[in-house]
């Protein structure tokens, strides 16, 4: 599985829950905090036209504005056999 990119905003409880899940399950990811970083915010908005977080990009797929349950399903759909 390609390393996912997780877009977060510092202080966002949903972002923290997503990071806690990834860390607890030893899933490597790249963290991109968009708060106070205009270039990162532009990246986030280009993915789906929104600025809500958390947002995960994995390969060509994007999971936007999600909870941990959706994250589990999204990651499971990218597991290679």
Indicate the number of domains in the chain: 1
Q: How confident is the model at residue 17, as a pLDDT?
A: 97
Please give the model's pTM, rounded to 2 decimal places. 0.91
Nearest-5° Cα angle at 4, 40 to 56: 60
* CATH number assigned to the domain comprising residue 34: 3.40.30.10
Residues 7 and 32: beta-carbon distance below 8 Å: yes
- Residue 15 within any structural domain of the chain: yes
Which parts of the chain have pLDDT scores under 50?
A: none
């Amino acid at each position: 599985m390609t390393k996912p990119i997780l877009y977060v905003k510092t202080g966002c409880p949903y972002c923290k829950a997503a990071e806690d899940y990834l860390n607890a399950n030893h899933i490597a990811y790249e963290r991109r905090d968009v708060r106070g970083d205009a270039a990162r915010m532009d990246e986030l908005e280009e993915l789906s036209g929104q600025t809500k977080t958390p947002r995960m990009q994995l390969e060509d797929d994007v999971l936007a504005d999600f909870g941990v349950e959706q994250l589990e399903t999204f990651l499971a759909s990218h597991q290679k056999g």
